[in-house]
Amino acid sequence: MDKKRRDFLKKAGAFSAAGFLPSEILAFTDGSINDAASKITNFVIKNAQVLSMDDDIGDFKRASVVVENGIIKSVSEDFTNNSDFEIIDGEGAILLPGLIDNHWHLWTSLLRSMAGDTKAEGYFPMTERYSKLYSPRDMKLAAKYAAAEAINGGITCLNDFNHNARSPEYVMASFDALAEAGMRGHVAYGPYRDLSSDTPTDFDGIKKVLQATKGVEKYKGISLGLGARSVNSQFLKEDWSRARELDLPITIHASSNEEQKGQISKLANIGLLGEDVNIIHANAITDEEIVAVEESGASITMTPYSEMRIGFGFPQVNRLMHSGINLGVGVDTTALSGNADLLSVLKLLLNIGNAEANDEFATDPREVLKMATINAAKLLGIEKETGSVTPGKSADLILLRKNDLNFSASTQPYHLVVEAAQPANVEFVSVGGRILKKDGALLNIDAGNLVKRAKATLQRMEEQVNN
């Protein structure tokens, strides 16, 4: 029996134990992975400017970072090459921890910029129509398509709120896509658009995903959480109690716009807020709710492009950044944001903060960058593993080359990264010592094939919608 067949049977056995059928597993097979690119590599990034995002280590105008067995071994101004490690020239480049996106609906990536100009074609009705046409295979394609764009733009970890979770297979699609792409991640098992408000949350499915992923090597960098239903759901308290019994972090959209004002207060008043809760949007948050969130230890994630595009209003940049709340940032959905350029999201937050304050100096670019690095890692509970260029942490790293017309000739590195950088400037990406992008090119993902498949899948769905 060949190795491929043995691996398939081994995987099939694991899924059968969790209630999956071998025929369902076939939907998740993907031959686009380059095994050589997925291996952990020992390397040294030499002579780069390092923005460590670690207050104790600080920054370096010129330093070398040694990576061994997937872990950052040292960050030093003095480096003598006495090993056979691969040397990566960081001269004239900025080295950062990989970016972390803390809110993204990956399945909607096939619906890029599909929200139209009428109520019938708006984001919510449009995504509901298309969501019913997805198979688990389509879900995996959408997640893989999004993951490729993420890696290309320097995102090494993302938080997928799966709100088309029609069965465990629809959620396992995200796990498989992220694992095969080589990313770190978190997947929130949510509801789906046309789920009846009277239908209980699928905790049997949640338990199946937990059983299928816990302790499995390929999923070790990907965790599961609860994507909560509306604050008004009759199952709210029961769901959160059951999620906490399973030790699942909870993500909820709340107080997104003026019509939803008071939702965070409701969560606080019934005693649901806690350190395991991440609130998405919160554009209509009140001063009293800010205090309640601070006291509870809950976090908030802002997604300015989608919030502004859909008309939710402006993210509360100054009020929240001057609070004690830990903040994250996200793309949310490319159906509204158009692309997954998290660097441009950071720039937008910086500019909104200054515009709100009528002050050029109101918003610190380093504090904004922390929202997508160390603070984002804290939000996910993985700050001991990633989020900064710190010896002992995973080698989740990105290198921005300062040789491009749009990204050069500056002595203000934090401003340069937040205000000028684009995905095209991301030359190198590694996750856990696995090099995923090098010399500006993705290594283990066939982007052209993904684009071709995404177009074909959308065309098929379009024909189904119109017939």
Rounded CA separation 455/461 (Å): 10
* CATH number (domain holding residue 261): 3.20.20.140
Please, which pLDDT band fits residue 38 given cuts at 50, 70 and 90?
A: low
pLDDT at 12 over 80: no
pLDDT value of residue 212: 97
In a domain, 151, yes or no: yes
Please, which pLDDT band fits residue 79 given cuts at 50, 70 and 90?
A: confident
Q: Produce one character per residue of 347-372: b if its CB has 16 or more CB atoms within 10 Å, e if not.
A: bbbbbbbbebeeeeebbebebbbbbb
Rounded CA separation 11/29 (Å): 11
Whether 264 and 411 map to the same domain: the answer is no
Rounded CA separation 103/344 (Å): 15
pLDDT value of residue 81: 77
pLDDT value of residue 125: 97
pLDDT at 222 over 70: yes
* CATH number (domain holding residue 398): 2.30.40.10
Whether 25 and 120 map to the same domain: the answer is no
Average per-residue pLDDT for the chain: 92
Span 388-421, pLDDT tens digits? 999 999 999 999 998 899 999 899 999 999 999 9
Span 282-341, pLDDT tens digits? 999 999 999 999 999 999 999 999 999 999 999 999 999 999 999 999 999 999 999 999
pLDDT value of residue 139: 98
In a domain, 156, yes or no: yes
In a domain, 386, yes or no: no
Q: List the structure tokens of 357.
A: 């304050």
Whether 87 and 106 map to the same domain: the answer is no
In a domain, 50, yes or no: yes
Whether 407 and 354 map to the same domain: the answer is no
Cα angle 388, 394, 396 (rounded to 5 degrees) comes to 65
Cα dist from 361 to 58, 223, 355, 356, 418, whole Å: 22, 38, 10, 11, 14
Cα dist from 200 to 137, 191, 207, whole Å: 25, 10, 14
In the chain, how many domains are there? 3
In a domain, 69, yes or no: yes
In a domain, 437, yes or no: yes
Rounded CA separation 38/445 (Å): 10
Please, which pLDDT band fits residue 40 given cuts at 50, 70 and 90?
A: confident
pLDDT value of residue 461: 97
Whether 107 and 2 map to the same domain: the answer is no
Whether 254 and 201 map to the same domain: the answer is yes
State which H helix or E strand residue 144 sits in: helix 136-152
pLDDT value of residue 41: 87
- In contact, 85 and 77? CB cutoff 8 Å: no
pLDDT at 16 over 50: no
| DSSP state letter for 168 | H
pLDDT value of residue 186: 98
Q: Who's near 349: CB < 8 A, 6+ residues apart?
A: 302, 304, 315, 317, 329, 363, 368, 371
**What stretches of 393-446 show up as alpha helix (H) in DSSP?**
413-420
Whether 16 and 145 map to the same domain: the answer is no
Closest to 357 in 3D by CA, of 319, 410, 398, 393:
319
In a domain, 449, yes or no: no
Whether 429 and 414 map to the same domain: the answer is yes
Whether 111 and 93 map to the same domain: the answer is no
Cα angle 410, 414, 417 (rounded to 5 degrees) comes to 75
CA 425 to chain centre: 20
Closest to 192 in 3D by CA, of 216, 218, 214, 162:
162
Domain that holds residue 160: 99-380
Whether 438 and 369 map to the same domain: the answer is no
pLDDT value of residue 414: 98
Rounded CA separation 99/343 (Å): 9
Tell me which amino acid residue 425 is. Answer: N
Tell me which amino acid residue 421 is. Answer: A
* Dihedral class, residue 387 (left if φ above 0, else alpha if ψ from -120 to 50, else beta): left
pLDDT at 241 over 50: yes
pLDDT at 265 over 90: yes
- In contact, 50 and 95? CB cutoff 8 Å: yes
Whether 130 and 110 map to the same domain: the answer is yes
Please, which pLDDT band fits residue 130 given cuts at 50, 70 and 90?
A: very high
pLDDT value of residue 36: 44
pLDDT at 229 over 90: yes
What is the phi/psi pair of residue 266, to 5°? -60, -45
Whether 20 and 52 map to the same domain: the answer is no
Span 165-199, pLDDT tens digits? 999 999 999 999 999 999 999 999 999 999 999 99
Please, which pLDDT band fits residue 6 given cuts at 50, 70 and 90?
A: very low
Instruction: Examine the fold and report which residue of 380, 402, 428 is the final residue of a domain before the chain moves on.
Output: 380
Cα dist from 414 to 177, 253, 335, whole Å: 32, 30, 29
State which H helix or E strand residue 299 sits in: strand 299-302
Please, which pLDDT band fits residue 23 given cuts at 50, 70 and 90?
A: very low
Cα dist from 142 to 16, 80, 101, 108, 209, whole Å: 25, 44, 17, 7, 19
In a domain, 385, yes or no: no
pLDDT at 4 over 80: no
Please, which pLDDT band fits residue 203 given cuts at 50, 70 and 90?
A: very high
pLDDT value of residue 80: 77
Q: 3-state DSSP helix/strand/coil percent for the chain, to nearest 5?
A: 40, 20, 35
pLDDT at 19 over 60: no
Mean pLDDT throughout 342-355?
98
What is the phi/psi pair of residue 367, to 5°? -65, -35
- In contact, 386 and 70? CB cutoff 8 Å: no
